[in-house]
Chains A and B, each alone.
Chain A
């Protein structure tokens, strides 16, 4: 089954404790992206990657890191989480970067709480 998977689905942590949220897709997509969803704000892009070893900042990159060492994986790293990073996080992928009509496929989401 074609899908985007994320782990963990739920995470409660404390301020300053490094964490990684994994994202993997099995559709051979070139483009991958991370979004955060906050009430009243919709989804905002954190980082994106157009291909292996190519990443760039989205609208809200502060406090996050990413890497793209393999085509299928795009982990999101919070080196020193803070309470304002409490949010619902989605990974997404699409076939081709820059495709104006490309459908993006979303993972199930990771609900992160930073105490």
Chain B
């Protein structure tokens, strides 16, 4: 079956540090890949997505590239801010009607 594995957390960084959160997946067919972010006390919101191999999704300074050869979709940001503190979820979609398969989530804390 489909699955998503995210790097172990939590991740703690200082402001302006470089961020990488690893995400790898297992899927049949040609899934779409997503990163969702959950700020404290809120629901999930889409951060970025990529729908086919070699696509790069980007938003708010975050980027992720859909790598079919390594089955990965790592999230990166060059300079994090305190306001980026949240839980980040990698998700896979498109192999079963509407269903998203989520990774376990990575808690990011950014200190001033």
A100 is contacted by which of B93, B103, B104 (Cβ under 8 Å)?
B93
In-complex Cβ contact of B99 among A41, A58, A90, A107 (8 A): A58
Interface size bucket, B side?
20 to 34
> Which of A11-19, A43-51, A70-78, A79-87 lies on the face that meets chain B?
A43-51
B73 at the interface (CB under 8 A from A): no
- Are the C-beta atoms of B100 and A103 separated by less than 8 Å? no
Of the four ranges (under 10, 10 to 19, 20 to 34, 35 or more), the interface on chain A belongs to: 20 to 34
Given A31-B98, A107-B43, residue A100 in contact with residue B32 (CB < 8 A): yes
List CB contacts (< 8 Å) of A34-78 with chain B: 35, 40-45, 48, 50, 58-59
16 CB contacts below 8 A, A to B, read A31-B97, A31-B98, A33-B99, A42-B102, A42-B103, A44-B102, A50-B97, A98-B98, A99-B98, A101-B93, A101-B94, A102-B98, A104-B46, A106-B36, A106-B43, A108-B42
